[in-house]
Amino acid sequence: MQPMLLTPRSHRRARRPGARLRTLLLGACLVGLPGLTAAAVPPLLLGTAWYPEQWPEARWPKDLALMQAAHIHVVRVGEFAWSTFEPRQGVYHFGWLQRAIAEAARHHIFVVIGTPTAAPPAWLTSRYPQTLRVGPDGKRAQHGGRQQFSFSSPLYRKFCREIAARLARHFGHNPDVIGWQIDNEMGPPSFGAGTRHQFHAWLRRKYHTIAALNRHWTTAYWSETYEHFSQVPMRAQGENPGLLLDFRRFVSATWASYVRNQVRAIRRYAAPRQFITTNTTHWGDQFDQYAISRELTLASWDDYVPDGRYHWLDNAVEDDLVRGYKRRDFWVMETQPAFVDWAPVNAALPPYAMRELAWQDVGHGANAVLYWQWRSALNGQEQYNGTLLGPDGEPVPAYRVVRGIGAQFALAGAALAGTEPRSRVAMLQSYASRWAIDFQRQTVRFGVVREFTAFYKPLERFAQSVDVVSPQAPLARYRLVVAPALNVLSRAEAHHLAAYVRAGGHLVLGPRSGMKDSYDALWTERQPGPLVPLLGGHVEQYYALLKPVPLAGALGSGTASVWAETLEPRASDTRVLMRYGKSNGWLNGKPAIITRRIGKGSITYIGAWLDPPLMRTVIDALARAANVHPLIPGVARNVEVCERVGDGKRVWILINHGRRPHTVHLPAAASPMLTGGPPRRTIVLAPHEVSVLLGSHS
């Protein structure tokens, strides 16, 4: 029988005096969510993943006391506990979690409940094998891991909806439960007959007639023409590019409806103050993250550095990517205590890198950082993963590092309450373009993420704040918008970008942009497709490169590698900024970068993959031309500048990622939050030091 839920009043009596204020916490740490008001403590959350079901209940108080001593204020629980919640079909045991939440509250710790649907129990998969995922090879997954379910199975979704609703009925008004995580790191699709039927139905809704599908996919090629939607194959590679792109969109829509199924079940019973999220992975492109995030209150991700080699610019772009899913602050739902257990070499992050990583996340918009996991599981596939406690229940070295981070969070949290990054520069990230290029790279060296990062690094170093958003996002606030490899460009997106330029914005397109329409078919206008009239020029031809080629012009000189396009100005006011030097005969003397002013705005096309020094020179020049300036000029190359503003405050987070001390001259006096002391204009950062400074913002 389901245990009786304590009423909020009786539950509050069991807790410490003043506990009512705890229900207001989210107003400080998640400013802007509906139904929440500001509170004093704690506005910045440190947390961990805790699995009380794996340990004796008598142990819980010691675990939570150790968390409290490390300034941990939030735990994620339950996301793999389905067999404990529902050991037999229809038999629910929630009492253990009720007691765990109450014990956490006594230690000033809040709870995020994960729906346990990433790992179904054995009774479900054995009794209902049709809920198991089918791989591309036609083989059905087996029980014994996670993510073995079919994301499209109506029956599996029924079970997911039921467990989510039961949990929400039980904990949806618990004052110590602040949010929900749907599933865990959703990933592979299913290729079974049921999914194929749904794919065909999705195609029918999109195209209405098979003739329309044939036209947009150009199925006359290789006699791929179909008479009925049921004839269309369902494969993730080696197919017509139009089919492959639509399959990815179908997968995205299916995962979005999978999430929506649980969101609606939770929202029916949960208090509006409780947020709903799901945790995503590094640059994950199995599905469109923007589509998934529409169903959620906030975005969250799992920030791991598998090989232990922390490169701050590589990590910064991922923080900005996740912030762009909802265009607001986010959570880091998992990060590593020193090391992981799934990389080829599971090297540990140095202690200073753990600290830098946590503060970088906060600087780029994270309001919570949670470590995975609290204590080593005694068995299971991830028993070697880094933890804060060892299998004996005692702290390991990473615990002391996290305790230090928690102490810093406590000192600086109040200053960060109500603030967020506000960039004047944006980069456009398109899943359709990533997928389309990956389907047909033309050169194995053209990695879409690598090319995106090649643009991001100099832009972040110059502007010191970059938003990463979808091509459909509002752009009016940005002085400069950069779109590397915007390969798939719909006519609506082109109109959106053209309107931005005509309103005075500055748009920069990278190589391979505007080649395809929304059906993954080639635009007849050549590149950049519908933006050719605005640019006053187009791409004459593209070339995969075997070796670097020289180029030079008004923006400097250097080389291009991997990819080069020859450009052809058509309008009299389209200017050539750089040309290729003598190289392979095809490129000699041809334009590599062209630009055109449109009123107070401009559009620039960069047709080559530039070497890093030249990329930096070009980006700096284009940023200055767009009236973009660094937040804090003159900082050293290894010093990261993060700015969060709001509520009349400006907070700078300065991180010295280098091995030498550096002096930073602030544009205005600010008070150091971690060390105390009077406001100052000059900061000396020791190697790997973090400084958080509070100033005013009008």
Catalytic residue, candidates 86, 318, 334, 640: 334
Determine how many CB atoms are found less than 10 A away from the CB of residue 202.
18
Helices (H), 417-490: 431-439, 448-463
CA distance 687 to 615: 28
Cα 25 vs. chain centroid, distance in angstroms?
Answer: 24
* Exposure class string for 405-423: b at 16+ Cβ within 10 A, else e: bbebbbbbbbbbbbbbbeb
- Whether the CB-CB separation of 67 and 45 falls below 8 Å is answered with no
Start-to-end CA span in the chain (Å): 58
CA distances from 200 to 130, 155, 207, 399 (A): 19, 19, 10, 51
Phi, psi of 404, deg, nearest 5: -65, -40
Which of left, alpha, beta for 523 (phi over 0: left; psi -120 to 50: alpha)? beta
Q: Which of 160, 164, 159 is nearest to 180 (CA)?
A: 164
- Whether the CB-CB separation of 109 and 72 falls below 8 Å is answered with yes
Q: Is beta strand 366-371 parallel, antiparallel or unpaired with respect to 45-49?
A: parallel
In the chain, DSSP finds a helix count (H) and a strand count (E) of 19, 25
DSSP label at residue 205:
H
Q: Which of 179, 174, 147 is nearest to 77 (CA)?
A: 179
DSSP label at residue 465:
-
Catalytic residue, candidates 53, 103, 162, 185: 185
CA distance 128 to 43: 45
CA distance 240 to 222: 10
* Exposure class string for 662-681: b at 16+ Cβ within 10 A, else e: bebebeeebebbbeeeeeee
Please say if 53 is a catalytic residue: no
- Whether the CB-CB separation of 377 and 338 falls below 8 Å is answered with no
Phi, psi of 539, deg, nearest 5: -85, 125
Q: Is beta strand 549-553 parallel, antiparallel or unpaired with respect to 330-335?
A: unpaired
Please say if 565 is a catalytic residue: no
Q: Which of 403, 416, 424 is nearest to 475 (CA)?
A: 424
Task: Give a three-class secondary structure readout of 641-652.
Answer: EEEEEECCEEEE
Phi, psi of 455, deg, nearest 5: -80, -40
DSSP label at residue 629:
-
CA distance 348 to 289: 29
Which residue matches tokens 């918008």?
A: 481
CA distance 418 to 39: 11
By annotation, the residues acting in catalysis are 185, 334
